[in-house]
Chains A and B, each alone.
Chain A
Amino acid sequence: GAGVSQSPSNKVTEKGKDVELRCDPISGHTALYWYRQSLGQGLEFLIYFQGNSAPDKSGLPSDRFSAERTGGSVSTLTIQRTQQEDSAVYLCASSPGGAGSYEQYFGPGTRLTVT
């Protein structure tokens, strides 16, 4: 079946502009994660959605970052007033959710460049 998809693949934006990054999880997966991968770094957790529960936003670096998940499927990560330090690859992952389903399946990521 189809894997996790993300769009756009690459995004170049000017400092101060808002951007929206999209994630389509694997069909039927109830858990969805956003991570950020900065150059030379590992993945940094941003936010986690599980079904209809309140999201875990503990990893969002500032209030310029927000995310929503509509209808328990597609998710959008929004960065307002982008800064150069926001340049990174943003990865989305999904998981079946529920007991024992700890493996996360990743999308190809969106490379964001803020000029």
Chain B
Amino acid sequence: AQTVTQSQPEMSVQEAETVTLSCTYDTSENNYYLFWYKQPPSRQMILVIRQEAYKQQNATENRFSVNFQKAAKSFSLKISDSQLGDTAMYFCAWGSGGSNYKLTFGKGTLLTVNP
């Protein structure tokens, strides 16, 4: 079975600094997708960034970037120039590239950005 592990239950960072959230996963599949979702106190899950496993290039979305290490099954999220609005739970998720697109989530990392 697929598993996703986020080893950091909580993290904090000073505003404007950079922080990296860790995620590892376990799968026997070769074709899959990885996601980082953000969940602020409003409960709304927001997609931050996605990575296709077949792509070697790391995905980037403005201040958010990933370090995807396929062989190590690692998928970390780097947030640059942290902002107060980045305070949220961050979930790493894995999805099969097959016909069923259900996601397997990690337990999340609570990120607090301090002023």
Contacts and interface: CB of A to CB of B under 8 A. Distances in A.
B42 A31 contact: no
Interface residues of A, number: 26
| Interface residues of chain A: helix, strand, loop or mixed (majority) | strand
Interface string B47-70: 100100000000000000000000
Interface in B35-51: 35, 37, 42-47, 50
A105 B44 CA distance: 10
Interface in B66-115: 91, 93, 95, 97, 100-108
A42 B106 contact: yes
B: interface residue count bin: 20 to 34
Contacts of B33: 102
B43 A103 contact: no
Contacts of A41: 107
B102 A33 contact: yes
Interface of B: 4, 6, 33, 35, 37, 42-47, 50, 91, 93, 95, 97, 100-108
